[in-house]
Homo-oligomer: A and B are copies of this chain.
């Protein structure tokens, strides 16, 4: 899918932005860069310096005389726009754009162009009117002008996320408070329910022996400790460490 996405930069002034856009593209798995009437030398040293390891994208960038020729073979053309123009156009967010890509690219011959304008003046009305839709990155209204490479970064990032979601190769957990432990990369199996209960029994006995906990006046102590350790969702090695600590305390108290 990502190999049928073309990034088009029109009238770029700073070679560093071409390099920065290339790096952002490669980071996100895109590689087709088209430059329309650049106002700088795209092969300038500064472009390669900012491209870092994405030199190949700068080297192979195709250069066109017009937006028309750059997007000729594309089936969907989306222009990045900082603001709504006199003539309102279908305007979408980067996320909505990215999430619509699997559909837009469902047919093998489909190709999508994402078009970015000049650093100073963006896209002209004529250029914007050659786009099927406009994409607007929601920014701080008091400081809305994104750096060109940063805009490419945000859009390319959203495209990659949608691609990953579509391919279902993300093992992303959605609940940051609870879901992360025990994903594919965790190093120990989770503690079982029975382990947990044995641990809470042991913990309570040791706290009584320490005279920290008074079972005749328990207040919420054990409930709070339960909430804490249940929330943490202990793995089996953590369980062993905690049981080991409790055992050591017990021995010292004897």
Minimum C-beta distance from A87 to chain B (A): 7
CB contacts (< 8 Å) of A185 on chain B: these are 84, 88, 91
CB contacts (< 8 Å) of A175 on chain B: these are 96, 180
CB atoms of B232 and A231 under 8 A apart: yes
Out of B140, B176, B253, name the residue touching A92 (CB < 8 Å): B176
CB contacts (< 8 Å) of A66 on chain B: these are none
Copies of this chain per assembly: 2
Out of B99, B170, B228, name the residue touching A138 (CB < 8 Å): B170
Minimum C-beta distance from A94 to chain B (A): 8
CB atoms of A26 and B143 under 8 A apart: yes
A157 vs B156: C-alpha distance when bound (angstroms) = 12
Which residues of chain A have a CB within 8 Å of any CB of chain B? 20, 23-24, 26-29, 50, 52-54, 84, 87-88, 90-93, 95-97, 99-100, 133, 137-140, 143-147, 149-150, 153-154, 157, 160-161, 164, 170, 172-177, 180-181, 183, 185-187, 207, 210-212, 221, 224-225, 227-229, 231-234, 237-238, 241, 244-245, 248-249, 252-253
CB atoms of A147 and B212 under 8 A apart: no
The 8 closest A-B pairs by CB, nearest first: A232-B232, A90-B180, A29-B140, A212-B248, A100-B176, A26-B143, A92-B176, A150-B153
A187 vs B227: C-alpha distance when bound (angstroms) = 12
A185 vs B218: C-alpha distance when bound (angstroms) = 23
Closest to A210 in B: B248
- Most B CB within 10 A of own CB, among A27, A28, A144, A221: A27
Instruction: Pick 27 A–B contacts, CB within 8 A, sort by A.
Output: A20-B150, A23-B147, A27-B144, A27-B146, A28-B139, A28-B140, A52-B145, A53-B143, A88-B187, A92-B172, A92-B180, A149-B150, A150-B150, A177-B180, A177-B181, A177-B233, A211-B248, A212-B245, A221-B241, A224-B238, A225-B238, A228-B232, A228-B234, A228-B238, A229-B232, A231-B233, A252-B252
